[in-house]
Structure formats: C-alpha cells, structure tokens
Amino acid sequence: MKGPALQDLGWTPSLAEAWRSLATEGLVPARVVAAHTRLLRVRGEAGEWLAEVTGRLRREARDPRERPAVGDWVALRPRAGEPRAVIQAVLPRRTAFVRRAAGGQSVAQVLAANIDTVFLVAGLDGDFNLRRIERTLVLAWESGAEPVILLNKADVCDDSETRRLEVEGTAPGVPVHVISAKTGRGLEALAPYLRRGQTVALLGSSGVGKSTIVNRLLGVEKQKTREVRRADQRGRHTTTHREVVSLPAGGLLVDSPGLREIQLWAGGEGLQATFEDVETLAPSCRFRDCAHDGEPGCAVRAAVEDGALAAERFESFRKLRAEVRAQELRDDPDLRRAQKARWRSIHKSLRELKPRE
C-alpha cells in the first residue's frame, strides 16, 4: 500500500539536503511513527514497515539519545516482498524532547524528535499546579520546539480566566489556550499549529485529558479515556506507547504516555528561558557567578525580599536548577572540581567581609 507524500509526514528542505549524503541504491527515507518494545514502525512514500536497527548503528550509538526515536527521519532498507525493514542511519534532528528516564539511573531518554510545537497540557480541575507547568516548560524549551500551553477541563472550572492569567504570568510570551476537550470549547484556536506537515507533541501528567484531546482532534474515538480518581484528581495511563498520528487538517501529532515522573536532563538553556525574570535580575548580583544561595549582594534574593519576585517561583527555580546542576556534575568531573573551587572563593570572600573584633 502506497504511503503519504513525504511533505505530509513533515519532510523539509533541510532534510532533503541531509539525505543527499545518504541516498544510495535500496535506501529510502521514512519517519518513525511508533515505538514498540524491540521494533519501530516507520512510514514513507512506499508504505509502512516494522523496522529494526542494524547492529552497526546500535554499536555506534553508545549514547541512547543517538538511537532512533518517534519522530525521527531514518534511512531505511526495506526487505524485498516483506513488511519488514532495517534502519541504516538517522538523519539530523531539528529538535529533540529529552528527559531522564524514570528510575534511579542517569540515562537520557528521547521522547520525541523533530517536533515543531509542544502542547503542554494542564488540567483546570483540582490537580492544577503552576509548579508542574514550570517543570514541563523547562523540558519544552530545552527541546528546541515552540511550547504552547493548553489549559484543559474548562468545563469544570468556575474561573478559568484567573487561571489563564496566572499561567501567562508564569510563562510570559508562551501562548496559553483555555479549552475543554470534553465539550470542544476553544479547540478552534489550535488550527494554526496543525497545518500540513507540522508536528506537535502532546505532553502532560496523567489525567489531564490528553487522550480526549487526541480523540477530538482526530474526530474519532482512537484513544481510550478514563475518569480521574476522585481522591487525588489523577488519572491512569490510557496511552501505552508513543506514536505519530495524522490529523484531518494535515498536521501530525505525537501522542505520549502521561509523564508521571518528569525528571530533567541537563536543561540549562530551558531553565533560563522558563525563568527569564530570574535571569534578568542575575547580572545585578555582586558576584558574576552568583548561585542565589546566600551570597552577599544577591539581587535575586533582594527581589524576593522586596516582593518583586514571588517566593514560590524562586523556590521552584532553585529546585529545578538543583536537578539540572546535579545532572551536570554527575556527567562532568571538571565541572565538579570547578564547583568546589567556586565555593572556596565565596567562603573566603565572606570571611574577608566579616568585621574583625
């Protein structure tokens, strides 16, 4: 069965340029549209296959982030007369949504690649949480894709406008849309993000209504939905694997299991973009490398004390920065040594500032 045109799958001029160095007889470009336990489902102009990665590519991709993920474009070698194929190479990514895999190991996990827009879904029910929105926003900015916040379940919120203003204050410059996937309210505002060849990722905690949004955008009951638990307003996962689905308007949507455990992976740039208000204050600190952890002359802490910066937002920044920093220190011995030297310098400065008796 013939597949869709490459442009309908998100093919771009930059991908066509990258393909020139890979184009050899027997290879075809295709996009990874679903990830299963050991196989990937891929789609191209010639059809759809179940594909495995070559042993050479597995050996060379020592970093898990280099292995093909949902949304990636790959060089595929189909097997003659079979619905199976082998992935020979991965084309360069434009964006990549990366988190630390759930559990204690320090291992990166690519959730989705080549995403244009990240829909960050939050519920307007009893599980509404600004701090969780900040956390997902750090991941979104780090991915390179454009974040858009969807405040779902407006049908159960008596004051959605107040919530919207709170989120806009927490995420300045990020589009915020109040919607109800259950009733269809506000979904027309999503049309500009869903044009032909545009790819969006749908991410958010379990129970915020992602599967209902998918069903609404598709116009069919593709994803099973479950009511959230009354005790804690949380839901159970109804999506069991990440996949790319085509939308009637021509766009593509990457659906993903709910992120119960959102752990950051080296999100320094994402942290700066999410907390731009903190970053704007930082140059006024006495120390150029001030960590805002008690150093004298800290402009950020002064803003908190004056009420110019909300204490809750600053504490959220500190918590997320600590996660990012811990990851960086685990991965970089030189950085660990520099961190120790920095604190020795700060302690020395504090001793010199202390008045002598």
> Last residue of a domain, which of 35, 69, 90?
90
Do 251 and 170 fall into the same domain?
yes
pLDDT of res. 81: 82
In a domain, 316, yes or no: yes
CATH of the domain at 214: 3.40.50.300
Do 243 and 104 fall into the same domain?
yes
Q: Which neighbouring-strand residues pair with 108? A: 100
CATH of the domain at 330: 1.10.40.50
Q: Which neighbouring-strand residues pair with 98? A: 110
Do 186 and 243 fall into the same domain?
yes
Do 280 and 251 fall into the same domain?
no
Q: Which of 28, 53, 27 is nearest to 40 (CA)?
A: 53
Do 34 and 100 fall into the same domain?
no
pLDDT of res. 197: 95
Do 142 and 185 fall into the same domain?
yes
In a domain, 184, yes or no: yes
pLDDT of res. 27: 93
In a domain, 293, yes or no: yes
Identify the DSSP state of 189. G
pLDDT of res. 1: 60
C-alpha distances out from residue 135 to 101, 107, 122, 329, Å: 15, 19, 12, 20
pLDDT of res. 300: 95
pLDDT of res. 268: 83
pLDDT of res. 266: 62
pLDDT of res. 240: 54
pLDDT of res. 10: 95
Q: Which of 138, 247, 139, 151 is nearest to 208 (CA)?
A: 151
In a domain, 261, yes or no: no
pLDDT of res. 236: 46
In a domain, 306, yes or no: yes
Q: How many angstroms separate the CA atoms of 88 and 61, rounded?
A: 12
pLDDT of res. 274: 94
pTM for the structure as a whole:
0.80
> Last residue of a domain, which of 75, 90, 105?
90
In a domain, 174, yes or no: yes
pLDDT along the chain (357 residues), means of 10: 87 94 89 91 94 86 83 93 91 88 69 93 91 90 94 94 94 96 95 95 86 87 50 45 88 73 70 92 91 90 94 93 80 52 50 52
Do 211 and 107 fall into the same domain?
yes
Q: Which domain holds residue 218?
A: 96-255
Q: Which two tokens stand for residue 287?
A: 């120390």
Name, in order, each residue with C-beta under 8 angstroms of 69's C-beta and a sequence gap of 6 or more.
32, 35, 96, 110, 111, 112, 113
Q: Give yes or no for a contact between 127 and 97, defined as CB atoms under 8 angstroms apart.
A: no
Number of domains observed in the structure of the chain: 3
